[in-house]
């Protein structure tokens, strides 16, 4: 991938690393990755969008890769990450851009469109549907779902809240944890097994992780996996976990946008074997209210969580169709 351009921009004093491909006068398409990933998760889309004449940009979210990793947990609040996206658009000297996000990148994309519709020509979310800021505190909702007693499971986001706890688990075997996380959330895993999203109290998430067998996970080559592993060997995963540790702060800060719809053209892509898409069926059913300018909602069959990597050709086609309609 030696035809890519890399650079960094400043956002409120924090370095944001980005990779781009395509003509500088093309329509900017800013892509935001999720957990635990990198700009590299958009490697297929960088090529497809760039070849189509768009200016394709994939960022490292703060805390990942070559972007800054502030020490303070509150530096990873949603409003700060929205500011990073706007800083990238400003750097491109563009009036607006198409914003695309996957996994945690989807809420960042959705909220960028919600808070700054003047700078977003269209927004696409992969895996995580837009639901808007609700009335119940997130941790309260998770505990109502799983129970809050000594014998009840912890929802994984709740498990991630204690700084250092899950980091210590990961450091026992970073390569095995990452490989198991990627495979267990993919469409190839055994989805009849206990879900990795529920962690028995007193246990670790890694106990729920499955490992791929021979010939499995072909969508992530050894070279691809080694890229991710190298990034996290260098940076650790605290920046990624700190995003989860802001969900209560986000709920408070986004109160003025309670139940607000997104008013720019939108696209949603999910997988029928993807946990966040399955859990988000109620949100998808409300798209006529929350995404009034939705152009398409596509659920890919036999697709797990890593949408743009497991099914790159179909995602490329859907994104190209969406972006072409915005020109």
Catalytic positions, please? 103, 305
How far, CA to CA in Å, does 35 sit from each of 78, 120, 135, 139, 192? 15, 23, 26, 19, 23
Q: Can you list the pairs that 149-155 forms with residues at least 24 positions away whose Cβ atoms lie under 8 Å?
A: 150/201, 151/201, 152/201, 153/198, 153/199, 153/200, 153/201, 154/198, 154/199, 154/200, 154/201, 155/197, 155/198, 155/199
Q: Is the CB of residue 159 less than 8 Å from the CB of residue 197?
A: no
* Cα distance between residue 69 and residue 125, in whole Å: 24
Those residues with Cβ within 8 angstroms of residue 130's Cβ, 6 or more apart along the chain or in another chain: 106, 107, 110, 262, 266, 268, 283, 287, 290, 291
Whether the CB-CB separation of 160 and 167 falls below 8 Å is answered with no
- Measured from the Cβ of residue 38, the count of other Cβ atoms closer than 10 Å reads 25
Half-sphere exposure of 276 (CA within 13 A, CB side): 25
Task: Identify whether the C-beta of residue 299 lies closer than 8 Å to the C-beta of residue 285.
Answer: no
Using omega within 30 degrees of 0 as the cis cutoff, is the peptide bond preceding 116 cis? no
- CA angle 251/254/256 to nearest 5° reads 130
């Amino acid at each position: 991938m030696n035809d890519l351009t890399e650079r960094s921009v400043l956002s409120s004093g924090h370095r944001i690393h980005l990779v781009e491909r395509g003509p500088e006068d093309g329509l900017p398409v800013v892509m935001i990755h999720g957990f635990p990933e990198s700009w590299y998760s958009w490697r297929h889309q960088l090529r497809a969008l760039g070849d189509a004449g768009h200016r394709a940009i994939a960022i490292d979210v703060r805390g990942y890769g070559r972007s800054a990793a502030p020490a303070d947990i509150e530096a990873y609040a949603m409003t700060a990450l929205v500011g990073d996206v706007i800083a990238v658009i400003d750097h491109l000297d563009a009036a607006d851009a198409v914003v695309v996000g996957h996994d945690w990148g989807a809420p960042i994309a959705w909220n960028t469109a919600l808070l700054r519709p003047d700078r977003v020509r269209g927004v696409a979310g992969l895996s995580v549907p837009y639901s808007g800021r609700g009335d119940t505190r997130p941790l309260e909702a998770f505990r109502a779902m799983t129970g809050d007693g000594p014998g009840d499971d912890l929802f994984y986001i709740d498990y991630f809240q204690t700084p250092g706890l899950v980091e210590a688990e990961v450091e026992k075997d970073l390569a095995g944890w990452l490989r198991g996380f990627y495979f267990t959330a993919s469409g190839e895993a055994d989805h009849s097994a206990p879900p990795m999203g529920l962690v028995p109290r007193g246990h670790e998430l890694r106990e729920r992780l499955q490992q791929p067998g021979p010939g499995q996970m072909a969508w992530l080559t050894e070279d691809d996996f080694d890229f991710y592993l190298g990034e996290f060997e260098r940076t650790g995963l605290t920046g990624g976990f700190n995003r989860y540790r802001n969900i209560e702060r986000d709920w408070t800060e986004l109160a003025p946008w309670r139940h607000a719809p997104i008013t720019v053209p939108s696209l949603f892509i999910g997988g029928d074997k993807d946990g966040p898409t399955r859990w988000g069926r109620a949100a998808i059913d409300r798209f006529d209210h929350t995404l009034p300018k939705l152009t398409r909602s596509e659920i890919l069959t036999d697709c797990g969580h890593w949408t743009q990597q497991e099914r790159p050709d179909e995602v490329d086609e859907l994104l190209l169709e969406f972006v072409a309609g915005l020109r």
